[in-house]
Amino acid sequence: GQQVMQIPQYQHVQEGEDFTTYCNSSTTLSNIQWYKQRPGGHPVFLIQLVKSGEVKKQKRLTFQFGEAKKNSSLHITATQTTDVGTYFCAGTYSGYSTLTFGKGTMLLVSP
Amino acid sequence: DADVTQTPRNRITKTGKRIMLECSQTKGHDRMYWYRQDPGLGLRLIYYSFDVKDINKGEISDGYSVSRQAQAKFSLSLESAIPNQTALYFCATSYGTGNFYEQYFGPGTRLTVT
């Protein structure tokens, strides 16, 4: 079946450092969504990318969708302690109506 | 989101017991989902429903059943709980037109099967 691979599984950074998490699929995705889950919380939607090569920004967060629509990344510039949490990508495949989630990247930020 | 509620929030049960987890939403969404989260495994889809008369199995439906009692209510049952069903369970909802809508998650139910 379809799988969305996400790396790294875990990253610990110092506040102010940058952070990137990557998602990869062997099959073309129709769209990709990103969610953030704070410790002890539930996943919260961040953004959706649909077009090939699409780049979207939300303040210090930059989201990219690859040209082949098989990979995506989330980059955080100058991390803050409020960025702590697990970031999930989730994609939809053509002909399917549900999301396939990556396993997530847990981000820890030390002050 | 307070718009998606789950009960109970925590539950400890014994092997072999039947247990029901409930989800209610006030968002008016047609689509509802049940996910299971285990450490390091992400979110895995158990069942989903696109309207009251539509129920579909997800990736890991064995050992689970669901009921869509109304547009706003979607329940997950474990007929005979086993320890490897210990996990964090999330209900989620989304709009029903098209495939590309964000999902809204409830606060989760932490289930422990001893």
pLDDT in tens, A24-33: 999 999 999 9
Task: Compare all CA atoms of chain B with the CA of A98 and give the residue at the minimum distance.
Answer: B99
Residue A83: strand, helix, or coil: helix
Listed in sequence order, the residues at least 6 apart from A95 whose beta carbon sits closer than 8 Å to its beta carbon are none
Cβ–Cβ gap A30/B50 under 8 Å: no
A23 lies within 8 A of chain B by CB:
no
**A57-84 mean pLDDT:** 98
| Residue pLDDT, tens place only, B66-90 | 999 999 999 999 999 999 999 999 9
What pLDDT was estimated at residue B100? 74
Percent residues over pLDDT 70 in chain B: 95
Structure-token pair, residue B113: 């099967």
| Chain A, chain B: beta-carbon pairs less than 8 Å apart | 50
Q: Which pLDDT does position B56 carry in this prediction?
A: 96
Burial of B16 (0-12, 13-18, 19+ CB in 10 A): exposed
pLDDT at A96: 82
Per-residue model confidence (pLDDT) at position A95 = 82
Half-sphere exposure (CA, 13 Å, Cβ side) for A57? 3
| Cβ-nearest to B99 among A43, A92, A103 | A92
**Does the beta-carbon distance from B59 to A1 stay under 8 Å?**
yes
Check: CB of residue B13 under 8 Å from CB of residue B19: yes
What is the Cα–Cα distance from B83 to B93, expressed in whole angstroms? 27
What is the per-residue pLDDT for B43? 96
Query: Chain A residues with CB inside 8 Å of B107's CB?
Result: 41-42
Which of A34, A44, A99 is most worth mutating to test chain B (most B CB atoms within 10 A of its CB)?
A99
- Give the per-residue pLDDT at A48: 95
Closest CA to B90 of B101, B79, B74: B74
Sequence-distant (6+) residues with CB within 8 A of A100 are: A2, A3, A4, A90, A91, A92, A93
List CB contacts (< 8 A) between B43 and chain A: 43, 88, 90, 101
Instruction: Say if residue A7 is exposed, middle or buried (CB neighbours under 10 Å; 0-12, 13-18, 19+).
Output: middle
**Residue B96 confidence (pLDDT):** 65
B40 to A9: CB separation less than 8 angstroms, yes or no: yes
Query: What is the percent of chain A with per-residue pLDDT over 90, rounded to a whole number?
Result: 94
Tens of pLDDT, residue by residue over A8-47, are 999 999 999 999 999 999 999 999 999 999 999 999 999 9
What is the identity of the amino acid at B70? A
Mean pLDDT of A63-87: 98
Residue A3 near residue B68, CB atoms below 8 Å: no
Distance separating alpha carbons of residues B30 and B16, to the nearest angstrom: 33
pLDDT given for residue B5 in this prediction: 97
Instruction: Please give chain B's pLDDT, 114 residues, in tens.
Output: 569 999 999 999 999 999 999 999 999 999 999 999 998 889 999 999 999 999 999 999 999 999 999 999 999 999 999 999 999 999 999 986 655 789 999 999 999 999
